[in-house]
Chain A
Amino acid sequence: MSDIKKIKDEFLNKLSEDLNIENVNQIKSELFGKNGKISSAFKNLGSLPNEERKKFASDLNFIKDELQEKINIKTQEIEIKEINSKLENEKIDVTLPERNIVQGKIHPVSQVIDEISSIFSEIGFSVEEGPDVENEHYNFTALNTPDNHPARDMHDTFYLDDKKELLLRTHTSPVQVRTMLKSKPPFKIIAPGRTYRSDSDQTHAPMFHQVEGLHIDKNINMGHLKGCLNYFIKSFFEVDNIKMRFRPSHFPFTEPSAEVDIGYELKDGKIVIGEGDKWLEILGCGMVHPNVLKNVKINPDKYQGYAFGIGIDRLAMLKYGINDLRAFFETDYRWLNHFGFDPLDVPSNYRGLSR
């Protein structure tokens, strides 16, 4: 008994020293190897008298477990230490740059078109489109702008044939006509797209973007028009209050017609939309002229409604503080990077219009 007690003490002592894994293996084999001290002790069990054997076996097992446990702990300790010291040597400078990041950009016009579509989608509008090349009928005549109308001069039109029948659309309004001709009322649509006028200076580009809106039903009046635009402007500029002014104006295809101004102020040279004592014209609108409805075979005594046209580029400029319209179309890599949007930034009703 005292023998194995001695072995136990001796080896527990050994195991508490600073050892490497080889030392531990050595100890392991000294104890539990073929001729190890513990193994030998077990072999000797048979030679013991019966009455002692049971007690001795029990003690031996106990000591064996204790030593085994101690060896396991020691082994783990050594392994952890070894891994730690290995990792210590693998240290690198993590402040070095990451691998190249590939980041694309969405053009502000596209982003704003998505924002507009998202806002109008919320109140039940769907998106329609039409061709960029139009004939004069859809662009003018059907919109109550006959050939001898001075309003035609105000649209500096690009023509594509000598007879001046084919042209680049000067506004998105022909989409109204096409939409109403191919289907039956009610209509509740927006039509974003490219528009063209032969006008080019600091504030005009020969190509720009408009979004047309049209809502025709049996009882749609100017109150609905005001409500719709009020909702749109507030949502678009992401403000709770907006100062808005409807001014009488004239468009051949609407009657009564209005231009809409929104209030703004200048803060540190930047336009702040919403309040303030300055007015900024942002869109034209009105009740669809009965002549237009007649031109698309809709009875104006039964159906009525409103239409509006908004400059998309201008909206983008106002919302995102872009000063120069021409820059939209100049493909300056620096500009695209600066004003462009991350492709994952998809405007939506539930995730919000913009970050």
Chain B
Amino acid sequence: MKFTIGWLKEHLDTKFKDSEIIEKLTDVGLEVESFERISSDLDNFKVAKIINAAKHPNADKLKVCDVDIGEQNMVKVVCGAPNAKKDLLTVYAGPGSVIPKNSMKLTISKIRGVTSHGMLCSESELNLSDESDGIIELKSNKYSDQVGKNFFKNNTEKVIDLSITPNRPDCLGVRGVARDLAAAGVGKLKNTSKMNIKSTGPQKIKVSILKDKNQGCTIFGSCLIKNVTNKQSPKWLKDKIESLGQKPISAIVDITNYVMLDLNRPLHAYDADKIDKEIIVRNSKKGETFKALDNKQYKLINDLCVISDKSGVLGLGGIIGGTRSGTEFNTKNILLESAYFLPRSIRKTSKLLNIDTDAKFRFERGIDPQSIEIGLKKAAQLITEICGGKASKFDIQRIEKDKKNKIKFKISLFERIAGFKVTDKEITKILTDLGFEISKKKLELELKIPTWRPDITQPIDIVEEIVRIKGYKNIETLEPEKTRFKDTLNKQQKLFHFLQRSVASKGYFETVTWSFTDSKLNNLFKENYKEIKILNPISSDLDVLRNSIFSNLSFYLKKNLDRGFKDISLFEIGPIFKDNKPGEQLTVIGAIKSGKISRLNWNEENRTVDVFDAKKDVIQTLIEAGYDRQNLFIREKSPSYYHPGKSGSVYLDKDDIDPVAYFGEIHPNIQKKFDIKTEALVGFEIFLDYLTDKKLKLKDSKSKFQFSDYQKSDRDFAFVVDKNFKAQDLIKIISSIDQSLIKSVKIFDVYEGENIPRNKKSIALNVTIQSSEKTLEESDLEKINKLIISTVETKSGAKIRS
């Protein structure tokens, strides 16, 4: 919403300074986006000084001038004026300027082989006089310190640009803004000027609103103006239109626009001679077409609100007119429309046909249904003044009665919500100034809502009116109370924050990537989940919700590798999606690690990352979160995007169905698809939703502190087992032999090859044995040794290596 201060003052009698008006606008909720002059074509003309004028090498009458235009470098201009000479102050027009006299647009051009950057101007070229003999000679006493400045003063008024919230259609007109300011104490709202339009004779074109289903038009006012002469708008009107950065078109179009901007009363002017007999406001029929003023052909479906005549559709009511009945410079007779269209109908049609116009924007937000006559009056008066002609009486068709909505407002509600007091008297004044009609009944006001305020429907809206006009400054700042009803974080949230920092502490950089991804990449990680398409993606490569975090992580890993990084550890904690319903999502940590450990370190051997790095990070994270390593169970099962032989899944318990994590090398095919070039790539995922709370709170989970001071003994064993036999099972077998004696089991070597049969491997373990009752004697140790060997051999089919 744009307007000038001058325009505002046509409605507002005020002595406030511009800056005060600007501040007040913001205070009442009409946010000022900007307050500045619209730049003008004349800004291109600069005061300049000729520093040197040399003869043109190829033309006797031309000179090549070095001109100081106040910028760092001088410009070269070819000039034919006899008076162009060193030290002359004159006017320079740069490339892109339009010369007022002949509307010629300047470009950089070669004149007889010398490039000229712009031109030096004569008075006649600038429409200042008829003097065309030479370039302007500016007086040095006045202009010598003006070099580089604009020659023409920018006389355009500063324009206020307001950002109007959707609830305030009334402020889409200058008068509405003035009313709010007046209520806030910035002067007085002027009465609308008396209009003595002579409208005589009946409006001869018949208008009817059909009672169609969900008819979108409830009132249709019209005025027939005969024998007009359409022309260019007068200067005052052109200036107004131009000051808003719009282009004047013709007096009739400019006037309807002006009334709309002034009163927020959209109008439409038809060439009356192009209307076939009568105006019928009705619902469209499927297949009807019409060409709109945006020069597009529209094909309609059933039940859109259209203005038509006997031959067909003339326009979409309240949205856009058609070319068939448009006014032109030779239009003789016009029919002026001032109507009321229902916001719902406007919204439906414009969305369906994807049309956005000024009128649509206003009707959609709600136009004052009682502004029909004043709009016709103001426009008819201006048209007859400017274009001549005779206006008919107004014809107003309606299918609904006008009514003013009423609400009851308990005065006490104001303080209850706003927290501060305003006197009843002041409340009454504010509401009256805003256009409410008030009758007071003790502690309650009965209010008739002004018809231009469709946003006001209930008492809380009245509170807002008072508090905003009174000023939000008056709201007290109360110290926050510290009362608490619930813990800040629940268990799951605590886990989230804990795991996030736990993973980061292992050297991973946390990233945040989109919750959506490229379906092509997503397919590589989708597994059994459903693809969830976004209907209107921001771009075709972000077209689905992600089923896994890995698609984005891999994508960005590749980008960082391309930047020259080699050893990258990235993770993200966030949602992945199982379906397109609320709640069908999982919270997941996805982590990825590439390259080497200890690359280029002078005292450490470097090695590529491997599956056990990923496994260590997962297991350590789980242990840090409070899960007991003894209970964690590893299976070989993992999704297809991991290396099938070098990956696994982690379960909180052997009997669990859902794994809490996967880890492993990323499948070489995935690396290939992403064109990831690195020595090694591993990753893991942790599923927070499956990390059920099996553990007790710390205060309950600490067992009694018990230790043994008796001597520990270590025994080493080497078993030859089947190649597929799992180390995890071997440890389990040994540690469950006698938990009171076997304190730890450590694997220190795994060997395949020479001296070991094919399909077998040797696992060497160290077992710590300690009693809490006595120092074990050699015979006790021997006993347990034998037991370990025999148990392992029976349970696993292993053979002790001798």
Chain A residues packing against B (C-beta within 8 Å): 96-97, 99-100, 102-107, 109-110, 114, 117, 120-127, 129-135, 138, 148-151, 154, 158-162, 164, 166, 168, 186-188, 194, 196, 198-200, 206-207, 219, 221-228, 230-231, 245-250, 255-259, 287, 289-290, 304, 328-334, 336-337, 340, 343-344, 346
Contacts and interface: CB of A to CB of B under 8 A. Distances in A.
A293 B560 CA distance: 48
Nearest to B479: A227
Nearest 7 A-B pairs (CB), nearest first?
Answer: A248-B29, A250-B165, A223-B419, A331-B556, A221-B419, A102-B507, A104-B504
Given A247-B472, A343-B504, A346-B501, A287 B417 contact: yes
Given A106-B500, A224-B478, A158 B534 contact: yes
Q: What is the size category of the interface that chain B forms with chain A?
A: 35 or more
B489 interface: yes
A223 B477 contact: yes
B538 A200 contact: yes
A96 B602 CA distance: 8
Given A99-B598, A221-B418, 12 more contacts: A122-B482, A124-B481, A131-B583, A133-B581, A150-B364, A150-B365, A158-B534, A158-B538, A194-B575, A228-B480, A256-B418, A336-B570
Interface string B535-564: 111110010010000001000100110010
A103 B577 CA distance: 30
15 contacts: A100-B601, A110-B573, A122-B482, A126-B489, A148-B344, A158-B536, A166-B581, A168-B515, A206-B516, A222-B467, A250-B167, A304-B417, A330-B556, A331-B513, A333-B560
B447 to A, nearest CB: 16
A159 B460 contact: no
A340 B603 contact: no
A337 B569 CA distance: 11
Contact of A160 (B484, B506, B580, B585): B580
Contact of A123 (B27, B417, B481, B560): B481
B485 A124 contact: yes
B487 A290 contact: no
A222 B347 CA distance: 34
A160 B417 contact: no
Contacts of A150: 166, 347, 364-365
Interface of B: 26-29, 31, 165-168, 343-344, 347-348, 364-365, 416-420, 458, 460-461, 463-464, 467-468, 472-473, 475-490, 493, 497, 500-516, 532-539, 542, 545, 552, 556, 559-560, 563, 565, 568-570, 573-575, 577, 580-585, 597-598, 601-604
A114 B497 contact: yes
Contact of A96 (B458, B537, B568, B603): B603
A333 B561 CA distance: 10
B489 A256 contact: no
A129 B484 CA distance: 18
A124 B365 contact: no
A290 B504 contact: no
Given A102-B506, A160-B532, A247-B29, A132 B585 contact: yes
Contact of B577 (A104, A109, A133, A164): A133
Contacts of B585: 131-133
Contact of B569 (A104, A127, A159, A225): A104
B489 A117 contact: yes
A228 B28 CA distance: 22
A333 B509 contact: yes
Contacts of B483: 124, 188
B485 A340 contact: no
A148 B343 contact: yes
Residue among A196, A207, A343 with most chain B CB within 10 A: A343
A162 B365 CA distance: 26
Contacts of A129: 493
Given A124-B481, A148-B343, A340-B510, A246 B475 contact: yes
A151 to B, nearest CB: 5
A159 B536 contact: yes
Contacts of A161: 535, 580
A104 B505 contact: yes
B482 A124 contact: yes
A105 B504 contact: yes
Given A96-B602, A104-B508, A126 B484 contact: yes
Contact of A188 (B484, B505, B511): B484
B582 A134 contact: yes
A225 B419 CA distance: 10
Nearest to B601: A100
Contacts of A198: 536-538
A124 B583 CA distance: 27
Nearest to A219: B416
A207 B514 contact: yes
Residue among B364, B478, B575 with most chain A CB within 10 A: B478
A154 B497 CA distance: 33
A256 B365 CA distance: 19
B201 to A, nearest CB: 40
A328 B512 contact: yes
Contact of A226 (B475, B502, B597): B475
A218 to B, nearest CB: 10
Nearest to B167: A250
B417 A188 contact: no
A287 B472 CA distance: 13
B277 to A, nearest CB: 34
Given A102-B506, A126-B486, A343-B505, A224 B419 contact: yes
A259 B460 CA distance: 18
A201 B405 CA distance: 43
Contacts of A186: 485
Contacts of B534: 158-160, 168
B546 to A, nearest CB: 11
Contacts of B464: 248, 255-257
Given A158-B536, A290-B460, A194 B574 contact: yes
A178 B394 CA distance: 54
B140 to A, nearest CB: 39
A346 B585 CA distance: 27
A114 to B, nearest CB: 7
Nearest to B544: A160
A222 B419 contact: yes
A165 to B, nearest CB: 10
A330 to B, nearest CB: 8
B166 A149 contact: yes
Contact of B535 (A158, A231, A332): A158
A127 B487 CA distance: 8
Contacts of B542: 206
Residue among B28, B500, B563 with most chain A CB within 10 A: B500
A159 B535 contact: yes
Contacts of B512: 107, 109-110, 328-329
A133 B565 CA distance: 35
A104 B484 contact: no
Contacts of A138: 582
A290 B483 CA distance: 24
A340 B538 contact: no
A249 to B, nearest CB: 6
Contact of A107 (B27, B510, B568, B602): B510
A343 B507 CA distance: 9
Contact of B480 (A109, A227, A328): A227
Contacts of A289: 460
Contacts of A247: 26-27, 29, 31, 472
A93 to B, nearest CB: 10
Contacts of A346: 501
Contacts of B478: 223-224, 226-227
Contacts of B508: 104-105
B511 A227 contact: no
A224 B417 CA distance: 10
Contacts of B418: 221-223, 256
B231 to A, nearest CB: 37
A133 B582 contact: yes
